Structure 1
Amino acid sequence: MPETSSRAPERPFPLIPLITLAAAAFLSVTVEMLPTGLMPLMSAGLGASESQIGLLMTIFAFTVVALSTPLVYLLQRVPKRLLLVGVLSAFAIGTIGTAFAPSYTIVVLTRIFTGAAHGVFWATVTSYTGALVTSKQLTKAVSITGGGGGLAFVLGVPLGTALGQLLGWRTTFFAIAALCVLVAALLWFVLPQRVEEQPETSAIEVVPAPQPIGDVEQTGLDGPRVPRPARSMYLVALLILLCALTMSGNYSFYSYISPYLLGIVSLPAEWLATALFAFGITSALATMLTGLFFSNRSTLGFAVAYACMLLGAGCLAFAPQVLPLVIVGLGLWGAGMGFLPTLLQSRLLAVAPRKHRDLSSALYTSGFNLGIGSGAFIGGLLLDDYGIWSVAPAFLTLVGCAFMGMMVVDFRQRRAGVATPRIR
């Protein structure tokens, strides 16, 4: 007896809305990361130490951790389109406040305000991206929106650093605020007013392994049993824990990359923006290529991403006086950080129960930023107590532990999970 099924028509790929969301992601990450490139200038202008400027990253990130989940819960009935426009407007307000802040204390308050908006943005944009597209389009969509964050390392931070060196760090913040207003207006006009998730299964069909970036092929009712990740909040929590450890190691070093390059590497100040550009360009390219390289090979993707990060930071740690190796190291490190967020976000959407996607996205945002804040805090303590050289070993230790943990969890999950057909 032949099988019959009625499938919903394929949803057109929403390229323009996704590009606009990528622009918003670009600004969000740029606002968060600007103190890393402007650290010496902000330190002199505000009469604060470099570790205090690094602490702005911790304050920003911990605000995200503390407020993103409750704010998402309180704002859950607000239409996502209106919410995204609102948080971009909040970015503009907070960043203008930073630009005009007369003291370090006022800068702290503006970073708290902007951090709250940042948490809502990332908790919303991840689930919103998943709702805009079908499961087959998910990896490509996440690569586009995630590419906006990667582009912030390519253009946002390096150009912000260069602009700050030319016109002052306050001008940089003011320029970013103006761009936030522009993108908020674009979001209002290009995002659909109503988004509903499209059904992905027919009345009678096998439900494939829910893995946007995965390691297995799809099978039918009589096909072989193959490993795949289940959907559970336990796996979400485990993924978030490893993400937080990774980001803690990464930002214990990256938060202080400017004083490290100017001090340990003895890089001339006029070359700082170029060095940060080397990190950023490989990060953005890696983000855009993640779906092409690792759509069905997430385990390989995680291994490559972590290996690039460790090798790259190792070049800076063990050969800081060899400038070519330093530049290559920054490129490898940037590539690893380009691959990793897309892999993590896609794996999150794969293992999170569908009814808890918003909650999982909010928790993931909190975990990601807990790592950023902890890393900046750890790096600041090491800077004050042991000197700038100590941030590189902290990176290698923490990221190395996260790498081993991710591989163990992935191996156990692949052995334990099997694709079980389900008829609906």
Structure 2
Amino acid sequence: MPATTHADTPEAPGTLGTSEASREAAPQDTPGPSADRLPLPALLALATAVFVTSLTETLPAGLLPAMSSDLGVGESAAGQTVTVYALGTALTAIPLAAATARWPRKRLLLASMAGFAAANTVTALSSAYTLTMVARFVAGIAAGLAWALLAGYARRLAPRHLEGRAVAVAMTGIPLALSLGVPAGTFLGQAVNWQTAFLVMTGLTLLLLAWIAALVPDRPGREHFAGTPVRAALRVPGVLPVLAVTLVFVLAHTILYTYIATLLDDLGLGDATDTVLLVFGAASLLSIWLVGALIHRRLRTLMVAGTLLVAVAATGLALWADSASVVYAAAALWGLGWGGVPTLLQTSAGDAAGDAADAAQAALVTLWNAAMAAGGMLGGLLFGLFGAGAFAWSALVLLVPVLAVVLAARTHGFPARRTPTA
């Protein structure tokens, strides 16, 4: 599928990608998308990279007892392997995005995946808590590098009119990691040992490196990123509302998801945790499919609907969680609302920021991971003070301002009429 390669050129805020002139003048040396279909082999490689990134972050959640025993620390200390990963991403995403702005995208993606392979290998072989924490922090840095480029890379691999669907395909790695990867990793850790789960991640990443090298087309870096710092992106109308929604929505979701096993155990459904997560994941995949099909025309509607569905799910868990059927229904609604949210937020940030898209994406990645780190800590505090019932209520309270901002950002951020570049 021959197409043109292009260097990025400045455009007016609110546009996507590069100008048509730059596309026509670009050298003809890099394969790209056809005019009417998605480059699925390349996008599925990016989806696998998203899967590796997400699963590496959350895998310890199902392995904490064994990890804490082997590392000689308590489960709460072992749980900080998730927090330090998120902190590594939050602290480094913006400076790394700026420092590597001019790198070719393929080289940058290969470097980040190699970082995951190294960090997961060290985590598997380490018997020292300090070394494990360092390896997890390095994995978080690799994630910051990956998240700052994955959504934009997916968009630039696709034809203009299919950019939203391309991001949706790439983002399928998130619900797959949460619904299938974590339970599978937990089963593997219980059947063999937790080190094997991390070594399997290393093997998967090595296969992914070969896949990317063979089938993912390259794209050039962005020369203008260094001249577009994050503070400039924040001044573009619509960027702040998207970032605010990202921070609070992810915080609400993380509090509930991180402690879902604790909540289910409190409800007497601890043995059903894997099944509940499977329902959540299946609904998330359906959500991503719907978002991919409708995002070009209905981004605002999808964002409002997603927020409302997660809020209804939290309400059900807060008020009627003593019924198993309500719990399963809430998991389905939660997944249906949440699954497409990463795609919607990253697309909204790119639409709003225009020229400053890379800076806005780096800020979004930073806030996303800051919210994940804060969600784990805040959830633990809420549990200690109020018990497991506080998780659903806190998520519901946080979703009220999320809905208010989405509804208010009708002109910029989550506009009623989306007008990407023709």
**1:399 corresponds to:** 399
Q: CA deviation at 1:398?
A: 1.3
2:388 is equivalent to residue 363 of structure 1? no
- What whole-Å deviation, never above 9, does each CA across 1:150-181 have from its counterpart, x for those lacking one? 22123212212222232232221221121111
Question: Take 2:364 and 2:67, find their aligned partners in 1: how far apart are those partners?
Answer: 30
**1:177 corresponds to:** 202
Question: Which residue identity does 2:258 align to in structure 1?
Answer: S
Contact 1:41 / 1:169 at 8 angstroms: preserved in 2?
yes
The equivalences for 1:14-413 within 5 A come to: 14-194=39-219, 233-262=236-265, 264-269=266-271, 271-354=272-355, 356-410=356-410
Unaligned runs of 5+ in 1: 198-229
Check 1:48–1:284 CA distance in 2 against 1; reply closer, same or farther (3 A cut). farther
Contact 2:238 / 2:412 at 8 angstroms: preserved in 1?
no
Check 1:160–1:298 CA distance in 2 against 1; reply closer, same or farther (3 A cut). same
Q: CA deviation at 1:321?
A: 2.5
Contact 1:30 / 1:157 at 8 angstroms: preserved in 2?
yes
TM-score by length of 1: 0.82
Q: CA deviation at 1:301?
A: 0.6
Q: CA deviation at 1:411?
A: 6.3
Further displaced range: 250-259 or 290-299:
290-299
Q: CA deviation at 1:25?
A: 0.8
Question: Take 1:141 and 1:416, find their aligned partners in 2: how far apart are those partners?
Answer: 22
Further displaced range: 122-131 or 8-17:
8-17
Question: Take 2:399 and 2:200, find their aligned partners in 1: how far apart are those partners?
Answer: 34
Check 1:151–1:35 CA distance in 2 against 1; reply closer, same or farther (3 A cut). same
**1:213 corresponds to:** none
Check 1:10–1:361 CA distance in 2 against 1; reply closer, same or farther (3 A cut). same
Question: Take 2:254 and 2:240, find their aligned partners in 1: how far apart are those partners?
Answer: 21
- What whole-Å deviation, never above 9, does each CA across 1:383-406 have from its counterpart, x for those lacking one? 333333322222111122212222
Unaligned runs of 5+ in 2: 1-19, 25-33, 223-232
Check 1:418–1:160 CA distance in 2 against 1; reply closer, same or farther (3 A cut). closer
Contact 2:284 / 2:337 at 8 angstroms: preserved in 1?
yes
Question: Take 1:414 and 1:15, find their aligned partners in 2: how far apart are those partners?
Answer: 28
Contact 2:348 / 2:413 at 8 angstroms: preserved in 1?
no
Question: Take 1:414 and 1:372, find their aligned partners in 2: how far apart are those partners?
Answer: 23
Question: Take 1:28 and 1:93, find their aligned partners in 2: how far apart are those partners?
Answer: 13
Check 1:416–1:28 CA distance in 2 against 1; reply closer, same or farther (3 A cut). closer
TM-score by length of 2: 0.82
Question: Take 2:139 and 2:53, find their aligned partners in 1: how far apart are those partners?
Answer: 9
Contact 2:299 / 2:418 at 8 angstroms: preserved in 1?
no
Question: Take 1:186 and 1:393, find their aligned partners in 2: how far apart are those partners?
Answer: 43
Question: Which residue identity does 1:104 align to in structure 2?
Answer: Y
- What whole-Å deviation, never above 9, does each CA across 1:120-173 have from its counterpart, x for those lacking one? 101011221222223211011011101122221232122122222322322212
Question: Take 1:125 and 1:309, find their aligned partners in 2: how far apart are those partners?
Answer: 25
RMSD, aligned CA: 3.0
**1:206 corresponds to:** none
User: Alignment length, in residue pairs?
Assistant: 383
Question: Take 1:149 and 1:109, find their aligned partners in 2: how far apart are those partners?
Answer: 24
